Every structure is written in C-alpha cells, then in structure tokens.
Chains A and B, each alone.
Chain A
C-alpha cells in the first residue's frame, strides 16, 4: 500500500499542510519577512540611528533626494546660514557650483556649511577672487533614497522598520520559546504525577494568573531596572501559564490511553513514559499553540513598549513605530501604515499557519 519506509503522522501532516495554500503562502511570506529583517538593514545605505534634519517626515518615494526644486531653496538657506550673499549657482557634471560674495574676505572653511547639509557632500573651494570677497565653491549632490519615507526625526523608515522587525520577531520567538519550554515541562509534570502534586502545582498557576500583568512588569522594572532581557522574562513568565494548562489537560487524557498503560506494564520508568510517549503525542497541539502564542507575544511587547517599559529609543519595534505613527496620522500617514502593514501581515501569516497546522495535525480529520 505505501512505500517501505513508513509514513509517519508528521509526514501525513506535512502532506496535508502542503495542500493548504493559505498556510504555504503565509509560511513563504513569513520567511521573506524574517530574511529581509535579518539582512535588509545592511543594504539600505542608512544607519537606523542617522537623523537627516533636512528630510524630516518626507513621504515614501522612489526618486532620489534632494529634488531639483528643493535645491534652490536649500542653497539659499545654506548661504544665509553662513552669513554670505548668493550671487549665482549652477549645475555641471553632477556637481553644484555656488558663487557667493561677502563684505569681508571669506574663510575657506565655509564649505563645511555645504557638507553639513544632508543634500551635499565633498564641498571644496574652486576659485576665489583676489580680495577674497567672492568665492566659488563646488559640492557633489548626495543622492539619498527614502523608499518608505522618513520619520519625525528624519530617520529612514525602511531601515527602522526592518530593525524594528528584528526586535519584534525576536521577542516573539524567544519569549514564545520560554513560555513553551516552561509550560510543557510544568504542565506535563503536573498532569503526569497527578494527585496532590497536581493540585498544588495548579493552584500555583492560579495564583500567578491572578497577578495583574502590567503591575508585575512594573514591579520587575522597579527592582531590576529597564532591560531588554527583562521583557522576555516578564512575557515568558506570564504566558507559560496558558501553555501549562493546555499541556496538563492533554497529559491527563493521554495518561489514560492504553499505550501509556502498556508502557507502564512493560516497566518503563516515569521519565521514559513522559518523554517517549506523552510529550511526542502532544507535539501537535503544542505547535499549534506556539503559532498562536507568537502573535500574542508580539502584541504584548508593543503594549509594554507603548507604556515605556519595553524597547527604548533608538531601538524600536513594530509596536513602538505604530504608536509613534498614530500620533502623526494626519499629514504623515505612511508612518502608521507601513509598520502596521508589516505587523499585521506577519500576524496574519502566523495565524494562517496556525490554522493550517491545526487542520493538518488534527487526528479527527483522519
């Protein structure tokens, strides 16, 4: 009937998952987001901390900055800042030649005013009149691309969104992993031992459930100071509770299965039963829960960051970016739309994958 290698339930599930187009598209999308967040910031030619004061809140565009119509104004401003008078300016071979005059001899160092601007670089003196009161400077135009525009501090939004994605995804995965690890061990132990131990362990969970989450995090911050790792601990420490409940329930029902009784009758030790029989058979629901947990963690992280308890400037996360963007909704909608798109599409993808996995791993379907 089937090839000799045997088709495990995992392979069965994989075949079913492959047939679910939404889940596969989501998985590809998620992989793509992960990849660009990881390597993207090295290719954007901007540091995520660099502030371009000339380009505060510029809208997304594929054209290079500065734009030609802006240059005239830009040059006038630079000249005014240097307390000089503009005589004329012209463009030649990609360089700008600015001729300025002044009532007294001009210092060569005025080229720095050009360099200081975000639009020009490599400023140097071309010619200088004999009295030094008229000078021609030249500078190359610095072409900058802001595909996603810039934020309120003039930082490139593309780079920042990708950097924020790193943080959001990392928090999601790491805190998710912490929650699963603690939850599975705790829940399986509690359910498997049963009796009084189970009662006590579950009452501890009840008590932890009763702690207000925000209060708990504020307390941690007060004691240990603001720290990125602290957030993982805080989120992980709260979210494992759900996991342990789920795992305990699964363990209780698996424990009564005949194959566990058979293992007991074989004389398999408790650890052997737990790790060879119970946990492998729970992996389906655990994986499904993880895909639902990661979005939850990402949202929690943005909530904490919004309160000022999570990621701090200049670092950022999608949640932080969205909260900043919402303040600039009028006039700079891209600040809200772009990070929101990244966050929601990631959450969508995770949910679709979770949904697909649930269908693929659900034994009732068989």
Chain B
C-alpha cells in the first residue's frame, strides 16, 4: 500500500461576488499517492483549478476554502502564509497554463531559475547556477549555458514551458501540480512536453497532479483519474477502467465528445466560388520613422487555394504557419500578391471600398469568442450590424425579425438578444459570432479556429451546428484549425501548412492515413498518439 502524499478531504471553495456567493467546489475528496500521476478532468468552470489553488493558498481575495488538505500530516489550509511558503515551491510546486505570462519578462531565465534554488535550498550563487544548468539539461533545453542569459521573449512557448518545468523541479518537490500545462501549445510541442513530463516523473519519482480538459492527455499520462463537474467529483478510478467502462453519465458524455463523422465531398461539377493563385503575403517588421530598413517576413509563400461551392477546406498547421494569414488574404483583409477570384469576379487588388459590397457574401468567425464580440453592444446589436451596413433600407422591426430568425438557427433563445456578450457562455458567444456571419446569407464563411477556445463537448455541438448550417445553405467553409480531430470531422479537403508554405494537401483520408511528408506524419502522430 502506497502512502498518500496529498489528500484533500471535503474541500469546499466559495467566492463572494456581486451576485452573491458562488460555490466553486462543493466538498471534493482527492488523494495522490507517492510517485503516482493522477489527472483531474472537467470542463471549464468545474472547479478543478480552484480546488488546487485553494490547496496552495493561492485563491483570489474574495475566495474562501474550507475542509482539510493534508500534506505530510499537516493541514495546508490551516497554515499561515510564512509556514505555507516553506512548502510551496519547495515540496509542492506548480506549473501554469500560460507560458507567456508565468515568466517575468524583466529577468533572465537564469535569474528566475536560480532564485527559488537559492531561497529554498540555501545554495550560494555558484552552486545555484550549477543546479540551474543541470535543470535546463534535464528538461532538454539546448545550450543551457547560453540560455541562462536569455530573456523569456527570446524563447518559444514550448521552451518557456520547459523552463517552467525546470523551475518547478529544481527543488526536488514531492508533488508537482500541472494546471493545463500544454493547452496553450501546438500539438507537436504538446506531445513533446507530455513525453518529457512522463519521463521526468519516472526518473525523479515525484507525485503529479495533472489538471486538464483534454481526455487524450489523461489517457497518455495518468494512472488514476478524477472527473469533476460543477464542483463535485462525479467519478474516480483507474484510467483504463474509466475509459473502458464509464459509469457516470457525464463521463460518458465527455468520452463521446470527440467530433465524429466525415463530410462528403461537394457534388461533382460544383462551381469554384473562391480561389487564389500563388498568394504571397509579406510583413515588414521594424523600420520606423528613423529606424533601420525593415525586415521582410514571408507569412504566406506561393499558396494556391480553390474552394468549391459546398466544400469545406481544412487548413492545418502549427501556430505561425501562416494559415490565418492565408485566410485573411483570401478575404482581402490583408494586402497580398496573387490573383484572387470570388464568384467568377476577379477581386485582385480590391481595396476596402470596392470590397465592401462583397463582404456580405464573405464572412468570418474568429477564434476567440470573448474578443470577437464588442463588449459594449447587446447580442441583438452585434448580429444585426451587418444588416445596417449592407441593407440600410431595412426597418428596425425587420432587422429584429431577422435577428430572431438567426438566433433560432444557432439555437440561442431569441429572448436573450438584449443581453451583453459577457452574460453568455463561451459556446453561446461562438454561436452569436456564427449568427452574425449567417444573418447576411453569405456564400463563403472563413472559420478561424472557431472551436479551439471551447470545451470538447461544446466543440462537438458547434461542429454539428456548422455542419447543419452548411447543409441548409450550401455554404462553403474555409476551416482553419490546429485540432486535427475537428478538421477530420468537418473538412472534405485538407491543406497542411508550415512556415507559410503548403506542405501537403488531399482528402482527409489521404492526408491523415497516408501522409507523404515528414512534417504531416509528425503532426498526425502527435494528434492521434492515443
């Protein structure tokens, strides 16, 4: 029988907010044994992060935790800050989701790595430095001596997350809590980081708690899993057993949330609606008023696209591969070179003015359902704005009727149209963004990572909605995503991009099952490892 490292007993977390008390965690019991990896899964808002924050004494000022949180026979919740600090960072350490913001941009990697070592292990500067370099080697950072002098902005997201891991492990903790450590990273890097963490856990023998919403990760890394929903643990047990035989309704729903089905290719002889030949987009970096000549960056390098009516082209690639830039160039939201055609009309070199009448038929849905809706407008105002622009003669009553119709189509109660975006959930906001696009009855909709910011279950609903709309209106989609599972379910043609170039294209089966290029193979391996 292994001894427990951390056991949470009947943890409750409450927040005092303007709308009264919010119960984030309602009495959860969780236990981690020495050298064991457990995962806590659940959708956003299930309280999984707040529970661990409470255990570490990191709750926001309006939060309050009760219960018992036993570590080495002592209750963490009853400790004062000073006492807690002898444990935090020393015996329990944490890795957060955002590698961009969890490192201080003003200090070098070396400084930030050495500080906790000096503080907790009482090493002198030379010894701390040696230890820091060892740690960087451990997390497989190349040229660790040189990297000690780098600042966070000089490193990629994956490298930064490695540094975070090095920092967390520098003091030989007994427990590592990782809060969605790979969510913000590209799939291929995600796979590398997971591999690294599994390897380190194996070698160093610490216990690990993995907080995630991605079941793929759970399957890969955790031995036991806790499923959380609305602040309660609904199911727990051995990972394999739960995946094979889920008992709770919610767990079943989570497991089935992977988007399924395929899209049939468009009917033979469907007309090409939007095409671009040899598209090139270059960005100039630097070079201001009195600066040096700007550096040119080729974001899209000679890529041709041809989208047929009723077709969905999936564009996949890592961040920075130029997939969003390509879509924006096709919509002429960015200046580009190369011939563009829309609906049989050459739109090469069209500017804002000349593009305006065509905008009605070319719509976009963006990734971030929080950022893409103006926070000072009501849902109704947001979705009808396009009508004001393109059908100025329409009466307010007629516009309202169209809004009601569009909201019904995206399955949002039209009675809610006077509410503001922040009152909707992420999935509902994305539905609003879709309603804003389809209210104009467009021919082409560019979907720029429309499901990336959403939970799996919501993702599936949005995918279903998009497919239904496509059938109903014979829409053509340009679907940009780094999530290959979603692309497989949505697209009938896939284009793989890397560094602004088209690497490979073909039907989903061709690309996913028989990838020709090495890069595509790596992408597929990372995405479908399980």
Binding site for B on A (CB under 8 A): 1-2, 4-9, 12, 15-16, 199, 257-259, 261-270, 272, 276-277, 280-281, 283, 363, 366
Contact = CB atoms under 8 A, between A and B. Distances in A.
A9 B18 CA distance: 13
13 contacts: A2-B419, A4-B415, A4-B416, A5-B418, A6-B379, A6-B418, A9-B420, A258-B368, A267-B358, A268-B386, A269-B389, A280-B374, A283-B376
Given A5-B418, A259-B372, A265 B18 contact: no
Contacts of A276: 374, 377, 385
Interface in B364-397: 364, 366-368, 371-379, 385-386, 389-390
Nearest to A3: B419
B420 A7 contact: yes
Nearest to A267: B359
Contact of B385 (A5, A257, A266): A266
B420 A6 contact: yes
Contacts of B19: 2
A16 B62 CA distance: 14
Given A9-B376, A281-B375, A265 B433 contact: no
B416 A262 contact: no
B297 interface: no
B333 A262 contact: no
B431 interface: no
A15 B386 contact: no
B374 A281 contact: yes
Nearest to B357: A267
B423 A1 contact: yes
Given A7-B420, A9-B375, A258-B366, A263 B385 contact: yes
Interface string B324-336: 0000000101000
Given A9-B375, A283-B376, 10 more contacts: A2-B19, A6-B419, A257-B371, A262-B372, A262-B433, A263-B374, A266-B386, A269-B356, A281-B375, A281-B376
Nearest to A283: B376
Contact of A2 (B352, B386, B423, B433): B423
B212 interface: no
B373 A8 contact: no
B420 A267 contact: no
Q: How large is the interface on B (under 10, 10 to 19, 20 to 34, 35 or more residues)?
A: 35 or more
| 4 closest Cβ pairs, A-B complex | A267-B359, A6-B419, A258-B372, A258-B371
Contacts of B420: 6-9
Nearest to A203: B289
Given A4-B416, A9-B375, A281-B375, A265 B363 contact: yes
Contacts of B488: none
Contacts, number: 96
A6 B371 contact: no
A7 B423 contact: yes
A4 B418 contact: yes
B160 interface: no
Nearest to B381: A276
A16 B19 CA distance: 11
Contacts of A7: 419-420, 423
Nearest to A2: B423
Given A6-B378, A16-B18, A259-B374, A267 B386 contact: yes
Contact of B333 (A265, A270, A283): A265
Nearest to B365: A262
A105 to B, nearest CB: 87
A266 B389 contact: yes
B514 interface: no
A264 B386 contact: no
A8 B356 CA distance: 31
B215 interface: no
Nearest to B369: A258
Nearest to B359: A267
B419 A268 contact: no
Nearest to A263: B385
B189 interface: no
B53 interface: no
A2 to B, nearest CB: 6
A266 B423 contact: no
A263 B383 CA distance: 10
A267 B416 contact: no
Nearest to B415: A4
Contacts of A258: 366-368, 371-372
A263 B375 CA distance: 13
A250 B440 CA distance: 30
Interface in B191-208: none
B498 interface: no
A262 B436 contact: yes
B371 A15 contact: no
Contacts of A16: 18
Contact of A280 (B368, B373, B376): B376
Interface in B338-373: 352, 355-360, 362-364, 366-368, 371-373
Contacts of A269: 356, 389
A6 B378 CA distance: 8
A199 B287 CA distance: 13
Contacts of A2: 19, 419, 423
B423 A262 contact: no
B289 to A, nearest CB: 6
A174 B296 CA distance: 49
B422 interface: yes
A1 B386 CA distance: 29
A363 B63 CA distance: 19
A37 B374 CA distance: 41
Nearest to A6: B419
B179 to A, nearest CB: 20
Residue among A5, A199, A259 facing the most chain B CB atoms (10 A cut-off): A259
Contacts of B331: 265
Contacts of B377: 276, 280
Nearest to B368: A258
Nearest to B387: A266
A262 B364 contact: yes
Interface in B45-59: none
Contacts of A268: 385-386, 389
Contacts of B415: 4
A277 B422 CA distance: 16
Contacts of A366: 422
Residue among A1, A261, A363 facing the most chain B CB atoms (10 A cut-off): A261
A88 to B, nearest CB: 77
A264 B374 CA distance: 13
Nearest to A363: B375
B366 A266 contact: no
Nearest to B440: A266
Nearest to B413: A4
A113 to B, nearest CB: 71
Contacts of B440: 266
Nearest to A366: B422
B359 A266 contact: yes
Contacts of B422: 9, 366
Interface in B400-433: 415-416, 418-420, 422-423, 433
B373 A264 contact: no
Nearest to B17: A366
Contacts of B333: 261, 264-265
Contacts of B289: 199
Contacts of B368: 258
A15 B18 contact: yes
Contacts of A259: 371-375
